[in-house]
Structure 1
Amino acid sequence: MNDITKRERFLAAARGEQVDRPPVGAWVHFGTAMADPSLAATLHLAFLASYDWDYLKVMHDFRLPTPQDGDLRERLEAFGTLGTEWASFDRQRAVLRAIREAEPDVAIVETLFSPFQTTVRSFGQDVVDIFEDDPDLANRVLGRVADLLARYAAELPSLGVDGLFLALTGASSDMSSFALDASAHRTWIGPHERTVLDAAKGLVRIGHLHGNDLNLDLYADHAFEVTSWSDVSSSPSIAEVLAQGRVPMLGLDELASTYLAADDVHQQVLHARRAAGDRIIVAPNCTLHSDTNPEVFTALRSSVEVAL
C-alpha cells in the first residue's frame, strides 16, 4: 500500500484490514486539568512530533463542574444540571481543533471516561457506596452524565476526530471496579456506557476494558470495534478478540514499561503482533507513566518497523 497517510493506516487497521504495518501510538496524562486548552494542545503536538505516532489519543482531563451546595447525596442529585457543563467540553473542543488544524494527516482519538468513571473522577470514590445503596439515584445521575457525554460524542466527527476511546470500569475483580458485583454493572453502569457508545456510531469506537480478571459477558452488548485491555492480567486472549470480530489494541505492558530496555519493548510488541497476525493497533495496554523513559516510547514506535 503506497503513500498511505497515518490517518488512513489507522482507519484501515481499525476495520481489520491488512496494512503496510500496524499503526502505533501511546499516551500519558500531561497534568493539564487546570491548564489553558492551548497548553494542552501544545503538549499533545510535541508528544506527537517527538515520536511520530500514527494516531494521537488525546487526553480529556477537564472535569465536569460539580455542585457545591449540600451533602454528597444532594450534590449528586444536582450533578449534570448546572448548565455550565458545556464550558468543560468547550475547552476540550479547542484542544481537538488545534490538533486537527496542525496535523491534518494523523488519526485523532478522543478519550472519554464512562459515565460511572466520570462521576467517580469528579466526586471521589465515596459515591460508589451511595450508588450501591440507592441504584435509582445511580441511574438518575449516570443517565444525565451519559446524555451529556453522548451529545458530545456525537459532535466529534465535526471536529475532525476519527475515534472514541471510552474507558470502561466496573466489570473486573480488582479495586479499579471498587468491589462492585456483576449486578451493579448490569443495572446501573453498563446501560449508560452503551448510551455513549451508541452515540459515537460512525467513529472508530475503542472499548478500553480496565482492570484484572474481566467479566467479558458484561460487554457482550457494547458496541465497539476495537478492544483495548491488558492481556497480561486478564482474558481475553488476542485470538478471542479477533474471533469476536474486534481489533486488538495493545502490545506494551504498562505496569512493567517505565524502565524497559528497547529490546524488551520490541519483544513484547512482536509477541502481540504475531498473535494477531499483524491485524492490530499497537499501543500500551493502558496509560503510561509520564516519567517513562523516552527510549521506551522510541522503542515502541520502532517496534512496528521490525519484520515479523
Structure 2
Amino acid sequence: MSVTGRERVLAALAGEVTDRPPMTLWRHWPVDDQDAAAHARSAVAHHDSLGLDLLKITPSASFMSEAWGARTEYRGDVMGVRDYSFRPVAGPEDWLRLEAIDVTDAPSLSREVEVVRLLRDRLGPDVPLLPTVFTPLSVIRYLAGERFVADLRMHRSAVDRALDAVTRTTVDLVRALLGAGADGIYFSLFPASAAVLSLTEYREAVLPWDQAVMAAAEPAQMRVAHFHLPFPLLPLARELPVNVVSWEHTSEGGPGLAEGRELTGKAVIGGLDQHGALARGGPAEVAAGVRAAWAAGGAGLTLATSCSYPLTAPVGNLHTFADTVRSLPSA
C-alpha cells in the first residue's frame, strides 16, 4: 500500500520514519500571486511535477501589509518579491491610524483564503497545505520600512496600538485559512534575529503578539515557526505553540540542522541552501547536499530548502532534489 504525503509529513512531526523522508520546495509566484486562480494553478503544477509531499503556499510577501494601504509592484526581482511604491507609516502618528480589518473586506487577505480553498479542492485530502502568515511585527516592518525598530523603542505605546490591530486581524486570518482547508500555518518571524532585536527585547515587546496569533492555530496539525534572517532567535521556538521549525541554517549565525533541532526540540523543515547548489550548482552537488542534510537531520526532518528558492534555479536541479529524496532510505 502506497504512503501518502500526509502520512510521511505526520510521521516526521512525530519523529518517526516511514518509507522515505517527506519533502517540499517552494518559491514565489510573481504576477500569478495577485490572482487566486492563477496562483493555485501554478502551485499545483509545481507540486505535481516534482511529486512533493507538502504544499507550502507562498503568497506575495506584501499581501498582509497591502490590507493596510501599502502599495507594491513586481519589477523582476530574482526571488519573486515585489517592491514597495508606498508605505503608509511615515511617522509615529501614523501608527495610531491602523485599525483591525475584517478579512472578508480586504482583497489581499480574502484572496489567500480563496487560494487555500482552490488548492484543497484540486489536491484532495492527502496533500498537507501550509499557507504563509507573517507575524504582527513583520507586518509592521513592511508598513514602515526600517524605521520600525526605532519606533518600537521610542514610540512604544503607538506601535503597541498598531500591533494590537494587526494581531487581531491576523488571528481572524489564521482561523479563516484553517476553515478553508489549511493543515497549519507557516509563521514567518521576519524580525526575530539578533541582527534586529535582542532576545530579551523580543520577548518583552513582541513575543506576546506572536503567541496570541499562534494560539489561534493550535488546533492545526502543522504549526511552523520560520526564522528568516541570519542570527535567528531560535530559543523563541520553545516559547511558541509550534511543532516545526525552519531557519536559515546555511547562513551566517546558523546554527546547523543538528544543533537547531537540539536547541528547539522541534521537528524541522529544511536541509538545503536555496542560494547554493540548487540555484548555482549541478545535479551531483544537489544530490550530495540532500544526502548530507538527511544524515544531519534524520527522522523528524522534512527535506526542503531553508526558504524560498530563486526563480532562476534550474528545473533539472529541482528534479534531482526530488529524485534524490525518493532514493533515500527511511532511516
State TM-score, norm by structure 2.
0.83
The count of residues paired between Structure 1 and Structure 2 equals 303
CA deviations 1:104-150 (Å, max 9, x no partner) are: 12111111111111222234223332222112222221122122112
Correspondence list, 1:163-174, <5 A: 163-174=184-195
Q: Equivalents in 2 of 1:158, 1:37: separation in Å?
A: 17
Q: Equivalents in 1 of 2:69, 2:231: separation in Å?
A: 35
Deviation at 1:158, TM superposition (A): 2.3
CA deviations 1:40-64 (Å, max 9, x no partner) are: 1111112112212111111132234
Match of 1:281 in 2: 302
Q: Of the candidates 124, 141, 162, which is equivalent to residue 141 of structure 1? A: 162
Name the SS for the 1:258 alignment partner: helix
Q: Which runs of 5+ in 1 are unaligned?
A: none
Deviation at 1:100, TM superposition (A): 0.8
Matched AA of 1:108: L
User: Closer, same or farther in 2 for the Cα pair 1:239/1:183, shift >3 Å?
Assistant: closer
The question of whether the paired residues in 1 share the 8 Å contact of 2:234 and 2:264 is answered with no
Match of 2:112 in 1: 92
Q: Equivalents in 2 of 1:57, 1:127: separation in Å?
A: 28
Match of 1:230 in 2: 248
User: Closer, same or farther in 2 for the Cα pair 1:97/1:287, shift >3 Å?
Assistant: same
Matched AA of 1:248: V
**Pairing 1:210–2:228 present:** yes
Matched AA of 1:202: P
Deviation at 1:183, TM superposition (A): 3.8
Q: Equivalents in 2 of 1:83, 1:111: separation in Å?
A: 18
Deviation at 1:243, TM superposition (A): 7.0
State TM-score, norm by structure 1.
0.89
Deviation at 1:172, TM superposition (A): 2.1
Correspondence list, 1:1-308, <5 A: 2-32=1-31, 35-61=34-60, 62-63=63-64, 64-67=66-69, 71-81=90-100, 83=102, 86-104=106-124, 105-174=126-195, 177=196, 180-203=197-220, 204-233=222-251, 234-235=254-255, 237-238=257-258, 240-241=260-261, 244-256=264-276, 257-308=278-329
Matched AA of 1:231: H
User: Closer, same or farther in 2 for the Cα pair 1:86/1:26, shift >3 Å?
Assistant: same
Name the SS for the 1:184 alignment partner: helix
Name the SS for the 2:9 alignment partner: helix
Deviation at 1:227, TM superposition (A): 1.0
Deviation at 1:244, TM superposition (A): 4.5
Q: Which runs of 5+ in 2 are unaligned?
A: 71-87
Deviation at 1:226, TM superposition (A): 0.8
Moved more, 4-13 or 289-298: 4-13
Moved more, 69-78 or 282-291: 69-78
Matched AA of 2:282: A
User: Closer, same or farther in 2 for the Cα pair 1:33/1:168, shift >3 Å?
Assistant: farther
Deviation at 1:237, TM superposition (A): 4.0
Name the SS for the 1:125 alignment partner: helix
Matched AA of 1:118: V
The question of whether the paired residues in 2 share the 8 Å contact of 1:239 and 1:276 is answered with no
The question of whether the paired residues in 2 share the 8 Å contact of 1:66 and 1:75 is answered with no
Q: Equivalents in 1 of 2:272, 2:175: separation in Å?
A: 31
Name the SS for the 2:268 alignment partner: strand
The question of whether the paired residues in 1 share the 8 Å contact of 2:100 and 2:168 is answered with no
Name the SS for the 1:205 alignment partner: strand
